[in-house]
Amino acid sequence: MTANIVLKAKGITRQFPGVLANDRVDFDLREGEIHALLGENGAGKTTLMNILYGLYRADSGEVYRGGQRVAFHSPKDAIKRGIGMVHQHFMLVPVFTVSENIMLGAETTRRGTLDRKAVAAHVRELSHQYGLDVDPLTVVGDLPVGIQQRVEIVKALYRNAEILILDEPTAVLTPQEAEDLFRIMRELTQRGVSIIFITHKLKEVLTVADRITVMRAGKVVGTVQPQETNEAKLAAMMVGREVILKVAKGEASPGENILQVKDLQVDDRRGLEAVRGVSFHVRTGEVLGIAGVQGNGQTELVEALTGLRPIHAGKVLMNSHEVTGKPPRPIIETGMAHIPEDRQRHGLVLSYPVADNLMLCTYYLPPFGVRGVIQPRAVDVNARKLVENFDIRTPSPYVPTSKLSGGNQQKVIVARELSRPIKLLIANQPTRGLDVGSIEYIHKEIIIMRDRGVAVLLVSAELDEIMALSDRIAVMYRGQIVATVAAAEVTRELLGLWMAGATPDKV
């Protein structure tokens, strides 16, 4: 194993106000390998990658590219040295087409005008060569995240990247899409591309990585080979203590119906039928899991239930009061909490301080709002309590939420929603982008909620999460619920089949 070292970081240190994001980090990447980088939320993975990509400057430390010391002043320099990066939050202009996004910054022109044709041809060629199916002419905003990710990869390849940094690429992918991505990654390494792969999913790491480096609180804890470790060991390395990967939960004792949905029909953004006559109920003290491959109407279903999307037909009853078509606030006031799928778009006001986001649903109610005036003391008390309880890593409750690491942003939402007196929790991908320690914590909280008599509707593309938390499981396929079963009576394989469209014999 004496392959060439193509990229090397030595003693990288980077301080942000109040946090030492990277503390004398050493990291290297060998030619043609997949080097996984693991670590808690806020461990400093993204920061390190942004430094390697020229987006941030290190306070001290050195970067070597192919044995040669380099100083990147902007991503332009990194791109020139063959480094490409797919960011945790995608860097695509939604109103541009795929080709426009791909060529941006590296445009091909003919007599002064953009040569869209040549770019499209090149994109088609690349996508064919690497099995990355993308249509160069569609507008990026219309594409599902899985495809947007391919666009990001093609964007890097278009710039002849020899080193590819993938920052949590699988967080937003369905299992099938993730499989696809792994195939692509292997294909790329075979062609000599070297990959840095960041993820929180330990299973993935063990299957695709050649080496694994773990970070904690800005420092590198160690580098291991996948064959000499396992999930539990990795989790312990990351968090610094034993993590219980399995959720401990007792029997559910469901009570009366809290949420009742009858023949619900909802259209998607383009006006096509996305939810086609769905009926179900959720009772107090139980978790109903909705399993399904992403894009089968779950997003629209949740948006309709939470008042974010108009309802075409059907009924929604909360606590046997009709809330069909009501705006979010009255629905929230009936005791609903919502953890949205897209944290940056629907869950947070990114420019607000963490403290304000932590009271966003109830700012107008005491103790936060008294006679129309916000009470800073109450906001502060609430913020400090939640930051502590939910282990939100932030230098202070008053930094803009945009400065938090992705996983910590998610925790802000979870903390806000779970800290109110609620009757129903609608959680859509509640642990997306979270590290194992935080997942453990949130899963525990959800079960505690359940045992306190809260009804929980859990939507997740992670089959493991559905299996671990649900008491009953409904499978959604093409806008309909094709099966509802008790969680104890079903296997992963069967669920997988139903999710793929096989019709169950018993319903």
Partner 1 sequence: MDWRRFGFIAFIITILFSVVVLIGKAEISPVVIVTSMLATTIAVATPLTLGALCGVYCERAGVVNIGIEGMMLAAAFFGWLTAIYMNTVFGLAPMPSLLGGVAAAILTGGLLGLFHAVLSVTFKVDQIIGGTVINILAVGITGFLNRQLFFEKGSIFGGNVPHAPGVLPRIQIPLLADIPVVGRIFDQQPITFAAILLVIITHFVLFYTRWGLRTRSVGEHPRAADTVGIDVYFMRYANVIIGGMLAGLGGAYFTLESVPSFEPLMTNGRGFIALAAMIFGNWTPFGAWAAALVFGAAQALQINLQFFRESIPPQWAFLQISYVVGLAPYLLTMIILTGIIGKNIPPAADGQPYEK
Ligand X SMILES: Nc1ncnc2c1ncn2[C@@H]1O[C@H](COP(=O)(O)OP(=O)(O)OP(=O)(O)O)[C@@H](O)[C@H]1O
What is the DSSP secondary structure assignment for residue 344, as one 8-state letter?
I
CB-based closest residue to ligand X:
407
Find the shortest distance in angstroms from Cβ 111 to ligand X.
41
Which of the ranges 83-91, 194-202, 229-237, 463-471 carries the binding residues for partner 1, by CB under 8 A? 83-91
User: Where would I find the beta strands (DSSP E) of 163-272?
Assistant: 163-167, 194-198, 211-216, 219-224, 257-267
Residue 295 binds which of partner 1, Mg ion, ligand X, none (CB < 5-8 A, kind-dependent): none
**Nearer to partner 1 by C-beta: 241 or 345?**
345
Residue 41 binds which of ligand X, Mg ion, partner 1, none (CB < 5-8 A, kind-dependent): ligand X
Residue pair 288/476 in contact (Cβ under 8 Å)? The answer is: no
Distance CA 121, CA 134 (A): 12
Residue pair 353/399 in contact (Cβ under 8 Å)? The answer is: yes
Find the shortest distance in angstroms from Cβ 425 to partner 1.
31
Give me the 44-73 binding string for partner 1, x by CB under 8 A, dash otherwise: ---------x-x------------------
**Nearer to ligand X by C-beta: 100 or 168?**
168
Q: Is 29 in the site for ligand X (CB under 6 A)?
A: no
Choosing from 199, 405, 419, 431, the residue that interacts with ligand X (CB under 6 A) is 405
For helices 116-130 and 175-190, give the axis angle rounded to 10 degrees: 90
Residue 144 binds which of Mg ion, ligand X, partner 1, none (CB < 5-8 A, kind-dependent): none
Neighbours of 506 (CB within 10 A): 6
**How many Å separate Cα 404 from the centre of its chain?**
14
Q: Which residues, 6 or more positions from 2, have their beta carbon under 8 angstroms from its beta carbon?
A: none
Q: Is 39 in the site for ligand X (CB under 6 A)?
A: yes
Give me the 397-436 binding string for Mg ion, x by CB under 5 A, dash otherwise: ---------x------------------------------
Q: How far is CA 263 from CA 86, 275, 481, in A?
A: 41, 9, 11
Distance CA 342, CA 111 (A): 42
Find the shortest distance in angstroms from Cβ 418 to ligand X.
19
Of 248, 202, 221, 198, the closest CA to residue 23 belongs to 221
Q: Which residues, 6 or more positions from 228, have their beta carbon under 8 angstroms from its beta carbon?
A: none
Give me the 234-273 binding string for ligand X, x by CB under 6 A, dash otherwise: ----------------------------------------
- What is the residue whose two structure tokens read 């034993």? 242
Q: Which residues, 6 or more positions from 220, have their beta carbon under 8 angstroms from its beta carbon?
A: 25, 26, 27, 213, 214
Find the shortest distance in angstroms from Cβ 45 to ligand X.
4
**343-402 binders of Mg ion (CB under 5 A):** none
What is the DSSP secondary structure assignment for residue 502, as one 8-state letter?
P
**Within 13 Å of residue 34, how many CA atoms lie on the same side as its CB?**
25
Which of the ranges 114-122, 147-155, 400-408, 473-481 carries the binding residues for ligand X, by CB under 6 A? 400-408
Give me the 313-332 binding string for ligand X, x by CB under 6 A, dash otherwise: --------------------
Distance CA 201, CA 219 (A): 20
Q: Is 292 in the site for ligand X (CB under 6 A)?
A: no
Q: Is 45 in the site for ligand X (CB under 6 A)?
A: yes
Residue 43 binds which of partner 1, ligand X, Mg ion, none (CB < 5-8 A, kind-dependent): ligand X
- The backbone torsions φ and ψ at residue 12, rounded to the nearest 5 degrees and listed phi first, read -75, 125
Residue pair 165/52 in contact (Cβ under 8 Å)? The answer is: yes
Which of the ranges 44-52, 303-311, 367-375, 483-491 carries the binding residues for ligand X, by CB under 6 A? 44-52
Q: Is 19 in the site for ligand X (CB under 6 A)?
A: yes
Residues that bind partner 1 (CB under 8 A): 53, 55, 74-77, 79, 85, 87, 91-96, 100-101, 103-107, 109, 112-114, 155
Residues that bind ligand X (CB under 6 A): 16, 19, 21, 39, 41-47, 88, 393, 403-408
